[in-house]
Homo-oligomer: A and B are copies of this chain.
Amino acid sequence: MGEFGLIGRYFQRAVLQQAGDPAAVALGIGDDAALLEPAPGCQWVISTDSLVQGVHFPEQYCPTDLAYRALAVAVSDLAAMGARPLGFTLALTLPTADEAWLGAFSDGLAQCAVDHRISLIGGDTTRGPLNIGISVHGEVARGRALRRSGARPGDLLCVGGPLGDAAAGLALVLDQPLPAPLDEASRDYLLARFWRPRAQCELGQALQGLASAAMDISDGLLQDAGHLARASGVALHIQGADLPSAPALRHWPARQQLDWMLRGGDDYVLLFSLPVAALAQLGDWPITVIGRVEAGQGVWLDGQPIAGDGGYQHFKESADG
């Protein structure tokens, strides 16, 4: 076991004992494979993501934030299915085994694992250009998974939190010019929304049996709404004035705010459709109705059809959304 084998042990020490549900992990790191113990009557939910420097994250990054974000982004796909997170594997390709980098990275990974109650169950470390591959595993009661395909005309269209924050955070990361001075709290909030998204797993689970369709917003509201509209065979009508935004976003001109809310990616809040009668059962959740599902196709904003994908190319490109 060489230098890179030692890295595996580092992550084991950092993460396994602190996070997740011990009862669900029958066998963790150290054998040929991990064993998870699903609850009776559950299906397995699996998603994989890989992050490449310069594609999915900017050159300017802190390894702690990067690790947090990499895992949270992957877990968000479990949230979008209404699944309960159980375990994840990490395939880490690194140019060198830099101890300071590894310490910071594994700190962020452990923080995110604890926040989302998910255990590191296996991994693979290799020398090469930086590449972070994470596969997440969760469980959902049979037949209760939230899919993209169930939205029906008459349903409400909702989101699980404010939009556009991560796009503003990215503008800060990239040191783009500010329209006005930004207070420290707003800056911290927006940077955290980019680097430390919190996957909406609890909301996803609460939506089981209520939402008719769901997904997470990773590529921007309009683009992801397009995916949901296609999968469900419906039209989604969005009211621009109803989009929720955080106070920190209001430092930018209204036009920029709206653009980020519609086209900014990386917010990782849930987008879902909901029969009107179900809304009252979600009274305790900070969700926002942003429009309606109608017969037809495509995504409409304030009565106008949106052409094409509606998103922009940012630090995200994926085959499975």
Complex interface: stretch among A45-53, A160-168, A237-245, A256-264: A45-53
Q: How far is the CA of A34 from the CA of B313 in the complex (A)?
A: 25
Q: How far is the CA of A136 from the CA of B282 in the complex (A)?
A: 37
Q: How far is the CA of A124 from the CA of B321 in the complex (A)?
A: 8
Q: Which residue of A7, A91, A147 has the most chain B CB atoms within 10 A of its CB atom?
A: A91
Chain A residues with a Cβ under 8 A of chain B:
1-2, 4-5, 7-9, 11, 26-27, 29-38, 40, 42-56, 77-78, 80-81, 83, 87, 89-93, 121-129, 131, 133, 135-138, 140, 142, 145, 147-149, 215-216, 231, 309, 313, 317-321
Determine whether the beta carbon of A127 is less than 8 Å from that of B55: yes
Determine whether the beta carbon of B124 is less than 8 Å from that of A32: no
Q: Pick the residue among B47, B125, B140 that contacts A319 (CB under 8 A).
A: B125
Determine whether the beta carbon of A318 is less than 8 Å from that of B135: no
Nearest CB in chain B: distance from A160 CB, A: 14
Contacts A48-B133, A87-B46: A77 and B33 contacting too (C-beta < 8 A)? yes
Q: How far is the CA of A8 from the CA of B148 in the complex (A)?
A: 18
Determine whether the beta carbon of B91 is less than 8 Å from that of A49: yes
- Return chain B residues, CB-CB under 8 Å to A319: 4-5, 7-9, 11, 29, 123-125
Residue in B closest to A133 when the chains form the complex, CB atoms:
B133
